[in-house]
């Protein structure tokens, strides 16, 4: 065992552990190491991991992506991956030594004794096969059902997983189901053969918050019915509801493990503390970049980048900065509205010819320097609203104004000169980077042709505090251009060493930083951020949010911040608009809306958010029961 | 009208347009080739027909009329399904083609089936298995880079002249088909097998393959029940290309193996400036391409349910 591993008091002392504690554990792992032979040498993915899981209990493996959680779990089904070398002192399931199993014995175990639920149910169900066939596969493989009763069994399984109308669903294909139903189908398949252990690898990561709550409930029911659960998540808040024990992994090692309450409330390893600190909280409290960065900085080793990012040079023009950085709160009062959205409506024609209203009579304003959050579940019209604000397409009714001038309406040719004022930061920018470009080229391209900086800015009303937006006397030529790119990189906390990197060689957080630098390049007033941190680990997420907050504060940017994550919105935004079915059901100051939601939908959204403090023994949740999921079926007829 | 019927109707209109274009190009192409069609009809330069005979031929075939009129007559006949009479064979083009079509179709379909089978087997067996894959790649490289006539000549040399397993020439039933089939198969199998293997490998990397394995599925089951269908999608797309390869290959193979068939017909028709036959074959090729591509589009939707949502 490594020095950094801390194990808390023996499990038996924990009040929630049943008498079964004295029986041999279902899963016993000691000294597990997994190495991968790659072209660049051996990668030690998992090092010296000890874990124990007893029947009917839930063990949560928590850590950032790449920390070795999934690999650890997959050793239990013998699918650690290609080129993996698994070594362990003990690797036992139901008392059997897994290290001695041959191919046939492994297959008898998989799906039969151990069920495995992957994240991303769209990719994890074979898209070319019917849902029923997918759910039936374990029964077929293990010969657990005859041809005649197979369909009845599948219907029963789908119903058990809380899928309405199972007779119809089993004939459908995965893409015809909503994300929540797909995840349920995947769980139905994993438990088809009544395994004694269910491994769930990020089972709710891609789901809306209310659907996530339902899927967690389903898993909890499985656990209550006696199935042991190995839950893998990057999100401590998700785990807080379910887990009896938590093991925190980092860089292939378990750095801390113990009873859930203990790990959550009295973390001993700094990495656990950092993970806890980075979880976006709904509660009122620190929202500014500096205070957010504080607990992160305390974590020291882990998040050096975040701590350092606070000191990066910002492109504040000396002349402009005399007016002082804008305080976010002041933005709402008396300031000019940069963006005005007036009663916009947008409908799309779906394939069957019917029209679907994606955005329904939506109005809001975005003041200079303000951050407005747009929250709602998938299909609620958030992204369409963002696209309208970006004038990617015209609204059917209503209008959008930028700096008081018509933004929707004019021909694109007349709009182009003003395009630089409003920029987009997308969820996963990798797709928008030319893979053959270097980071320098990616950002330089956004500077526009020829003139390195503010050629297109002439004559528009200058908002104060626009340091990042140029105004600096730049020379011409490649040198000045590069200088500008380096400055933009510095503004997002990256050094000049990144200039020559290819997009593929960036981590998720670095990629998002580059995307932000690119968005800043033309000197915008408004950043439209569409789920900018949804694809990121929670600690990296905190860094990016801190960066956005700092840019906003120091450069006076306005943010239209779209997210399904209420905690994230809470951290970043001054005001929040809650969208449902294309309409804004509630809009107001973040504190007020979160503290006392007026619309029942807002209240339901807030209640569904996993919290650290409600912990795992809290059973009262508002969205219990079988999935009716009226809202989630919407994704099947989504915009695209 | 149901979407499928509407789509088929639109497709038919597009096919008609393609056929018109193909016919027009064939008509113009044959007119632009230097030389006198009347002389071709009279039996070529060697026949040394008198000017009077040539004039008579021109009048008989309408070759003395202005080009637009000839074109109008040509189109009018086409609309009635009349492909005209062959200049050389003194036989209706329709019957020339139908007589020879059987042999060529047997050749092409056999080669397509063999090619797809070979590609599927190779792709399934060698995907994700480095050593087997290296061997298969060597084979594919040879198959792709060797021209059809050379493959045919090599096969003839080895199996007919040397080993005497198969007849050198002619139509001796199935035995006579084996080497031509192989020749055509090898010309398409390389690319198809590469694409199949890539498709299988890509599918095996997808999460659903891991899910299937985690259910206890055997490697064979994962490959056959899951990955193969995914690999079929790009292969289907390439089938249109393979068909073109086969049509071109047929001409070569029928020449090398001295077989009857459309390939031979078209070679002699082009050499003899037999306009009606060339036009007929061009239209046949266009119809075949159009129909097969329409079929492929429908098949695509059958294999991939996600495509069914895309507007027809």
Q: Is the pLDDT of residue B134 over 80?
A: yes
Q: Is the pLDDT of residue A454 over 50?
A: no
| Residue A79 to residue B214, Cβ atoms within 8 A | yes
CA of B72 vs chain A CAs: smallest distance (Å): 42
pLDDT band at A14 (very low <50, low <70, confident <90, very high): very low
B13, B47, B79 — which closes off a domain? B79
Residue A536: how many CB atoms within 10 A of its CB?
23
CA of B111 vs chain A CAs: smallest distance (Å): 28
Examine the domain organization and report whether B137 and B200 are in the same domain.
yes
Taking a C-beta distance cutoff of 8 angstroms, is the pair A586, A597 a contact?
A: yes
What secondary structure does DSSP assign to A170-229, as a single string?
TTS-GGGS-HHHHHHHHHHHHTTT--SEEEEESTTTTS-HHHHHHHHHHHHHHHHTT-EE
What backbone phi and psi angles, to 5 degrees, belong to A14? -75, 135
The reported pLDDT for the residue numbered A177 is 84
Residues of chain B contacting residue A137, judged by C-beta atoms under 8 Å apart: 212, 215, 217
Q: Please state the separation of Cα A517 from the chain's center in Å.
A: 21
Examine the domain organization and report whether B19 and B129 are in the same domain.
no
Residues of chain A contacting residue B208, judged by C-beta atoms under 8 Å apart: 123-127
Q: Is the pLDDT of residue A53 over 70?
A: yes
pLDDT band at A307 (very low <50, low <70, confident <90, very high): very low
| Residue B216 to residue A125, Cβ atoms within 8 A | no
Looking at the 3D structure of chain B, how many domains does it have?
2
Residues of chain A contacting residue B211, judged by C-beta atoms under 8 Å apart: 116, 118, 124-126, 134, 186, 189
pLDDT tens profile A119-170: 776 788 999 999 999 999 999 999 888 888 899 999 999 988 888 888 888 8
The DSSP output letter for A325 is: P
Q: Quick one: closest CA in B to A352, which residue?
A: B311
pLDDT band at A35 (very low <50, low <70, confident <90, very high): very high
Cα–Cα distance, B213 to A9 (Å, whole number): 37
Examine the domain organization and report whether B265 and B120 are in the same domain.
yes
The reported pLDDT for the residue numbered B46 is 67
Does the interface predicted TM-score (ipTM) exceed 0.90?
no
Cα–Cα distance, A430 to A121 (Å, whole number): 22
Q: How far is CA A277 from CA A44, A271, A608, in A?
A: 28, 10, 20
What backbone phi and psi angles, to 5 degrees, belong to B85? -110, 145
Tell whether B66 is covered by a domain: yes
The reported pLDDT for the residue numbered A449 is 66
> Which residue, among A122, A55, A152, A111, has the nearest Cα to A378 in the 3D structure?
A122
Examine the domain organization and report whether B118 and B70 are in the same domain.
no
Strand partners, A32: A49
The reported pLDDT for the residue numbered B44 is 66
What share of chain A in percent tops pLDDT 70? 78
The reported pLDDT for the residue numbered A403 is 87
- The angle at the Cα of B183, spanning B177 to B189, to the nearest 5 degrees, equals 120
Interface contact A194, partner B, CB < 8 A: no
Q: Quick one: closest CA in A to B204, which residue?
A: A126
The reported pLDDT for the residue numbered A12 is 41
Q: Please state the separation of Cα A267 from the chain's center in Å.
A: 23
**Higher pLDDT among residues B151 and A450, named by residue:** B151
pLDDT tens profile A581-603: 889 999 999 999 988 899 999 99
**Higher pLDDT among residues A353 and B207, named by residue:** B207
Cα–Cα distance, A474 to A460 (Å, whole number): 19
pLDDT band at A373 (very low <50, low <70, confident <90, very high): very high
> Could you give the 3-state DSSP secondary structure of residue A592?
helix
Taking a C-beta distance cutoff of 8 angstroms, is the pair A29, A91 a contact?
A: yes
Q: Is the pLDDT of residue A632 over 70?
A: no
Examine the domain organization and report whether B42 and B116 are in the same domain.
no
Which of A110, A118, A124 lies nearest to residue B216, judging by beta carbons? Answer: A110
The reported pLDDT for the residue numbered B1 is 65
Query: A131-141 and A179-190 helices cross at what angle (nearest 10)?
Result: 10
What secondary structure does DSSP assign to chain B, as a single string?
--HHHHHHHHHHHHHHHHHHHHHHHHHHHHHHSSS-HHHHHTT-GGG---HHHHHHHHHHHTTTS-HHHHHHHHHHHHHTT---B-TTT-SBHHHHHHHHHHHHHHHHHHHHHHHHHHHHHHHHHHTT-HHHHHHHHHHHHHHHHS-HHHHHHHHIIIIIIIS--S-SSS--HHHHHHHHHHHHHHHHHHHHHHHHHHHHHHHHHSHHHHHHHHTT--HHHIIIIIIHHHHHHHHHHHHHHHHHHHHHHHHHHHHHTT--SHHHHHHHHHHTT-HHHHHHHHHHHHHHHHHHHHHHHHHHHHH-GGGGGS--
pLDDT band at A615 (very low <50, low <70, confident <90, very high): very low
Segment among A9-13, A65-69, A610-614, B180-184 with least mean pLDDT: A9-13
Q: Is the pLDDT of residue A33 over 90?
A: yes
For residues B289-305, give the mean pLDDT: 87
- Disruptive mutation site among A137, A176, A191, A193 for chain B (greatest number of B CBs within 10 Å): A137
Examine the domain organization and report whether B71 and B180 are in the same domain.
no
Q: Is the pLDDT of residue A624 over 90?
A: no
Query: A508-520 and A538-555 helices cross at what angle (nearest 10)?
Result: 20
CA of B303 vs chain A CAs: smallest distance (Å): 7
Cα–Cα distance, A573 to A589 (Å, whole number): 9
**Higher pLDDT among residues B9 and A335, named by residue:** B9
Interface contact A478, partner B, CB < 8 A: no
Examine the domain organization and report whether B179 and B51 are in the same domain.
no
Which of B210, B229, B304 lies nearest to residue A118, judging by beta carbons? Answer: B210
- Disruptive mutation site among A77, A124, A170, A187 for chain B (greatest number of B CBs within 10 Å): A124
| Residue A112 to residue B216, Cβ atoms within 8 A | yes
Examine the domain organization and report whether B43 and B107 are in the same domain.
no
Taking a C-beta distance cutoff of 8 angstroms, is the pair B258, B170 a contact?
A: yes
Cα–Cα distance, A557 to A467 (Å, whole number): 10
What backbone phi and psi angles, to 5 degrees, belong to A566? -65, -35
Give the CA-trace dihedral at B211, B213, B214, B217, to 10 degrees: 120
Residues of chain A contacting residue B213, judged by C-beta atoms under 8 Å apart: 79, 110
The reported pLDDT for the residue numbered A212 is 85
Tokens of A443: 């950002």
The reported pLDDT for the residue numbered A374 is 93
Query: B173-205 and B207-214 helices cross at what angle (nearest 10)?
Result: 90
Tell whether B174 is covered by a domain: yes
- Disruptive mutation site among B128, B208, B233 for chain A (greatest number of A CBs within 10 Å): B208
Q: Is the pLDDT of residue A306 over 60?
A: no
- Disruptive mutation site among A104, A110, A120, A126 for chain B (greatest number of B CBs within 10 Å): A126
For residues B129-140, give the mean pLDDT: 91
Q: Quick one: closest CA in B to A638, which residue?
A: B309
Q: Is the pLDDT of residue B214 over 50?
A: yes
pLDDT band at B114 (very low <50, low <70, confident <90, very high): very high
Interface contact A141, partner B, CB < 8 A: yes
Tell whether B269 is covered by a domain: yes
Q: Is the pLDDT of residue A521 over 60?
A: yes
Taking a C-beta distance cutoff of 8 angstroms, is the pair B42, B57 a contact?
A: yes
> Which residue, among B28, B100, B153, has the nearest Cα to B268 in the 3D structure?
B100
- The angle at the Cα of B285, spanning B279 to B291, to the nearest 5 degrees, equals 130
Residues of chain A contacting residue B222, judged by C-beta atoms under 8 Å apart: none
The reported pLDDT for the residue numbered B219 is 92
- Disruptive mutation site among B211, B217, B221, B225 for chain A (greatest number of A CBs within 10 Å): B211
Examine the domain organization and report whether B151 and B175 are in the same domain.
yes
B79, B107, B126 — which closes off a domain? B79
Any long-range contacts for A148-157 (C-beta under 8 Å, 24+ apart)?
A: A153/A192, A154/A188, A154/A192, A157/A188, A157/A189, A157/A191, A157/A192
Residues of chain A contacting residue B305, judged by C-beta atoms under 8 Å apart: 127-128, 173, 175-176
Q: Is the pLDDT of residue A450 over 70?
A: no
Taking a C-beta distance cutoff of 8 angstroms, is the pair A466, A320 a contact?
A: yes
Tokens of B265: 């017909």
Segment among A263-272, B32-41, B174-183 with least mean pLDDT: B32-41
Examine the domain organization and report whether B127 and B17 are in the same domain.
no
Residues in CB range of A184: below 8 A, 6 or more apart: A158, A161, A162, A163, A215, A218, A627
Segment among A19-23, A512-516, B209-213 with least mean pLDDT: A19-23
Which of B206, B218, B306 lies nearest to residue A107, judging by beta carbons? Answer: B218
Residues of chain B contacting residue A108, judged by C-beta atoms under 8 Å apart: 216
The reported pLDDT for the residue numbered A322 is 32
- The angle at the Cα of A335, spanning A330 to A339, to the nearest 5 degrees, equals 115
The reported pLDDT for the residue numbered A114 is 94
Strands A583-589 and A575-580: antiparallel
For residues A377-405, give the mean pLDDT: 88
Tell whether B85 is covered by a domain: no
pLDDT tens profile A187-227: 999 999 999 999 999 888 777 888 888 888 888 988 998 89
**Higher pLDDT among residues A81 and A283, named by residue:** A81
Tell whether B84 is covered by a domain: no
Interface contact A186, partner B, CB < 8 A: yes
> Which residue, among A209, A583, A539, A154, has the nearest Cα to A363 in the 3D structure?
A583
Residues in CB range of A338: below 8 A, 6 or more apart: A366, A367, A368, A402, A403, A463, A525, A526, A558
Taking a C-beta distance cutoff of 8 angstroms, is the pair A219, A205 a contact?
A: no
> Which residue, among A78, A201, A198, A199, has the nearest Cα to B219 in the 3D structure?
A78
Residues of chain A contacting residue B226, judged by C-beta atoms under 8 Å apart: 126, 128-129
Tell whether B86 is covered by a domain: no
Which of A115, A123, A189 lies nearest to residue B207, judging by beta carbons? Answer: A123
Interface contact B241, partner A, CB < 8 A: no
A56-77 as b/e: b if 16+ CB within 10 A? bbbbbbbbbeebbbbbbbbbbb
> Could you give the 3-state DSSP secondary structure of residue A68?
coil
Any long-range contacts for A328-335 (C-beta under 8 Å, 24+ apart)?
A: A328/A369, A328/A370, A328/A371, A328/A552, A328/A553, A328/A574, A329/A574, A330/A369, A331/A367, A331/A368, A331/A369, A331/A370, A331/A558, A331/A574, A332/A367, A332/A370, A332/A574, A332/A575, A335/A367, A335/A368, A335/A369, A335/A370
Cα–Cα distance, B221 to A570 (Å, whole number): 48
Examine the domain organization and report whether B62 and B187 are in the same domain.
no
> Which residue, among A259, A465, A503, has the nearest Cα to A370 in the 3D structure?
A465
Residue range(s) defining the domain that contains residue B33:
3-79
What backbone phi and psi angles, to 5 degrees, belong to A18? -70, 180
| Residue B213 to residue A129, Cβ atoms within 8 A | no
Q: Is the pLDDT of residue A622 over 70?
A: no
Q: CA-based Rg of chain A, rounded to a whole angstrom?
A: 26
For residues A529-555, give the mean pLDDT: 85
> Which residue, among A222, A172, A217, has the nearest Cα to A199 in the 3D structure?
A222
* Mean pLDDT for all residues in chain B: 86
Cα–Cα distance, A170 to A156 (Å, whole number): 11
The reported pLDDT for the residue numbered A317 is 36
B18, B50, B79 — which closes off a domain? B79
Which CATH number does the domain housing residue B239 bear?
A: 1.10.3720.10
pLDDT band at A471 (very low <50, low <70, confident <90, very high): very low
Q: Quick one: closest CA in A to B2, which residue?
A: A352
Tokens of A621: 């949740």
Residues of chain A contacting residue B309, judged by C-beta atoms under 8 Å apart: 175, 351
Cα–Cα distance, A442 to A212 (Å, whole number): 36
Tell whether B88 is covered by a domain: no
Q: Is the pLDDT of residue B67 over 90?
A: no
Tell whether B238 is covered by a domain: yes
Q: Is the pLDDT of residue B195 over 70?
A: yes
Interface contact B221, partner A, CB < 8 A: yes
Q: Is the pLDDT of residue A269 over 50?
A: yes
Q: Find where tokens 């209640």 sit.
A: A607
Interface contact A118, partner B, CB < 8 A: yes
Examine the domain organization and report whether B35 and B116 are in the same domain.
no
CA of A640 vs chain B CAs: smallest distance (Å): 10
For residues A417-433, give the mean pLDDT: 84
């Amino acid at each position: 065992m490594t020095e950094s591993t801390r194990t808390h008091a023996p499990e038996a002392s924990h009040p929630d552990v049943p008498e079964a504690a004295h029986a041999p554990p279902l899963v016993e792992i000691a000294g597990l190491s997994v190495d991968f032979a790659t072209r660049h040498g051996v990668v030690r993915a998992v090092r010296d991991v000890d874990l124990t899981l007893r029947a009917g209990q839930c063990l949560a493996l928590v850590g950032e992506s790449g920390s070795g959680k999934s690999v650890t779990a997959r050793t239990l089904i013998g699918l650690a991956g290609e080129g993996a070398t698994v070594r362990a002192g003990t690797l036992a399931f139901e008392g059997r030594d897994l290290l001695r199993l041959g191919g046939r014995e492994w297959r008898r175990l998989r799906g039969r004794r151990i069920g495995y639920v992957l994240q991303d149910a769209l990719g994890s169900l074979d898209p070319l096969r019917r849902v029923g066939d997918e759910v039936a596969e374990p029964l077929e493989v293990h010969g657990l059902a005859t041809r005649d009763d197979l369909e009845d069994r599948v219907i029963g399984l789908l119903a058990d997983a809380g899928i309405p109308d199972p007779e119809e669903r089993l004939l459908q294909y995965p893409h015809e189901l909503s994300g929540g139903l797909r995840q349920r189908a995947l769980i139905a398949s994993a438990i088809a053969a009544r395994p004694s252990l269910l491994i769930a690898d990020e089972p709710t990561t891609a789901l809306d918050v209310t659907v996530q709550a339902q899927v967690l409930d389903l898993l909890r029911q499985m656990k209550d019915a006696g199935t042991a659960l190995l839950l893998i998540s990057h999100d401590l808040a998700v785990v807080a509801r379910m887990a009896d024990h938590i093991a925190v992994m980092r860089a292939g090692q378990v750095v801390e493990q113990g009873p859930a309450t203990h790990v959550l409330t009295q973390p001993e390893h700094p990495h656990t503390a950092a993970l806890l600190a980075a979880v976006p909280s709904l509660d009122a409290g620190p929202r500014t970049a500096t205070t957010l960065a504080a607990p992160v900085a305390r974590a020291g080793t882990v998040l050096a980048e975040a701590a350092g990012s606070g000191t990066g040079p910002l492109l504040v023009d000396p002349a402009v900065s005399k007016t002082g950085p804008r305080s976010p709160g002041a933005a709402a009062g008396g300031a000019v509205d940069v963006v005005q959205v007036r009663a916009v409506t947008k409908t799309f024609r779906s394939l069957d010819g019917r029209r679907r209203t994606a955005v329904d009579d939506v109005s809001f304003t975005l003041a200079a320097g303000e951050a407005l959050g747009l929250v709602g579940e998938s299909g609620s019209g958030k992204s369409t609203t963002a696209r309208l604000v970006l004038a990617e397409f015209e609204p059917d009714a209503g209008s959008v104004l930028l700096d008081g001038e018509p933004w929707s309406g004019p021909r694109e040719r007349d709009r182009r000169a003003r395009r630089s004022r409003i920029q987009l930061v997308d969820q996963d920018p990798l797709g928008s980077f030319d893979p053959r470009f270097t980071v320098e080229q990616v950002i330089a391209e956004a500077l526009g042709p020829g003139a390195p900086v503010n050629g297109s800015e002439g004559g528009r009303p200058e908002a104060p505090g626009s340091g990042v937006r140029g105004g600096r006397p730049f020379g011409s030529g490649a040198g000045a251009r590069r200088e500008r790119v380096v400055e933009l990189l510095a503004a997002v906390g990256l050094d000049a060493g990144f200039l020559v990197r290819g997009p593929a060689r960036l981590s998720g957080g670095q990629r998002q930083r580059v995307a932000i630098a690119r968005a800043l390049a033309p000197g915008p007033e408004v950043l439209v951020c569409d789920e900018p941190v949804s694809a990121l680990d929670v600690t990296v997420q905190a860094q990016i949010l801190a960066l956005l907050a700092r840019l906003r504060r120091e450069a006076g940017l306005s943010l239209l911040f779209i997210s399904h994550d209420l905690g994230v919105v809470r951290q970043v935004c001054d005001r929040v608009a809650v969208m449902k079915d294309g309409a804004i059901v509630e809009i107001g100051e973040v504190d007020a809306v979160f503290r006392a939601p007026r619309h029942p939908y807002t209240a339901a959204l807030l209640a569904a958010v996993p919290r650290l403090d409600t912990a795992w023994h809290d059973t009262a949740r508002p969205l219990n029961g079988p999935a009716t999921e009226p809202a989630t079926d919407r994704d099947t007829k989504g915009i695209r | 009208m149901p979407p499928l019927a509407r789509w088929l109707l639109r497709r038919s209109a597009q096919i008609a347009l393609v056929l018109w274009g193909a016919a027009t190009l064939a008509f113009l192409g044959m007119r632009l080739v230097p030389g006198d069609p009347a002389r071709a009809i009279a039996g070529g330069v060697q026949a040394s027909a008198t000017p009077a005979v040539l004039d008579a031929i021109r009048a008989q075939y309408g070759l003395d009329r202005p080009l637009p009129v000839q074109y109008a007559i040509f189109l009018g006949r086409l609309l009635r399904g009349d492909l005209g009479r062959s200049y050389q064979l003194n036989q209706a083009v329709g019957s020339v083609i139908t007589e020879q079509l059987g042999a060529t179709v047997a050749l092409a379909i056999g080669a397509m089936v063999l090619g797809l089978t070979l590609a599927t087997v190779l792709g399934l067996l060698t995907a994700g298995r480095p050593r087997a894959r290296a061997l298969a790649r060597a084979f594919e490289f040879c198959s792709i880079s060797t021209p059809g006539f050379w493959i045919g000549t090599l096969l003839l040399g080895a199996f007919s002249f040397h080993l005497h397993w198969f007849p050198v020439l002619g139509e001796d039933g199935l035995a006579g088909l084996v080497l031509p089939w192989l020749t055509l198969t090898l010309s398409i199998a390389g690319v198809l097998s590469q694409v199949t293997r890539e498709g299988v490998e890509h599918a095996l990397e997808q999460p659903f393959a891991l899910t299937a394995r985690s259910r206890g599925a055997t490697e064979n089951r994962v490959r056959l029940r899951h990955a193969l269908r995914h690999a079929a999608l790009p292969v289907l797309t390439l089938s249109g290309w393979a068909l073109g390869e086969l049509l071109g290959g047929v001409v070569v193979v029928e020449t090398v193996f001295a077989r009857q068939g459309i390939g031979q017909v078209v070679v002699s028709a082009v050499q003899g400036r037999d306009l009606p036959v060339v036009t007929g074959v061009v239209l046949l090729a266009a119809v075949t391409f159009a129909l097969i591509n329409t079929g492929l589009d429908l098949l695509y939707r059958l294999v991939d349910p996600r495509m069914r949502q895309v507007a027809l």
